[in-house]
Structure 1
Amino acid sequence: MTDTVLDVRGLSCPLPVLRAKKKLDTLPPGATLTVIATDPGTVRDFESLCRQTGHLLLDSREEGETFTFRLQRAG
């Protein structure tokens, strides 16, 4: 189950990942964040974010021009 949804459709790199990081920092450990984006670069950006911060990328999917990522805040 997702605790928070962040809609960053229409924003370009680096804004989607920066806004997601800022939102994750406000969530309690173990909470999940679903991010909805349209920038194709976010696929690579969210993988990097998780590697660098310890947050988990639970899943990601692409539907047309929309990308959805489910992240879990590191504990």
Structure 2
Amino acid sequence: MAADPVIVNARGMKCPWPALRAARALRAAQAIVIEADDPIAPRELEALAQAQGWRFSALGDHRFALARPD
């Protein structure tokens, strides 16, 4: 059974901090939902996920999901 994703609050942080927080959280978790309102965050998080081979999806309302592959 998959564990619930870890919630990471990066609202108010400017890039690259949301991506750094996401990378740190995914060291110990299989999946995270990160809240980030910097306009650059979606591109940075997607690039991070692509570089690491993780899944990325935009959930809306400044929320993004990143997960390690199964």
Query: Shorter-chain TM-score: which interval?
Result: 0.7 to 0.9
% same residue: 28
Count, aligned residues:
68
State the superposition RMSD in angstroms.
1.6
> How far 1:48 moved relative to its partner?
0.5
Specify the alignment match of 1:51 in structure 2: 50
TM-score by length of 2: 0.85
- Higher RCO, Cα 8 Å, sep 6+: 1
Structure 1 runs, 4 residues or longer, greater than 2 Å off: none
1:3 and 1:47 mapped to 2: Cα distance? Answer: 17
Name the structure where strand makes up a greater proportion of residues. Answer: 1
**CA deviation string 1:10-67 (max 9, x = no partner):** 000100100110110112xxx220000110101110110011111111x20443xxx1
Amino acid at match of 1:44: R
Amino acid at match of 1:50: A
Structure 2: gaps of 5 or more residues: none
Structure 1: gaps of 5 or more residues: none
Specify the alignment match of 2:64 in structure 1: 69
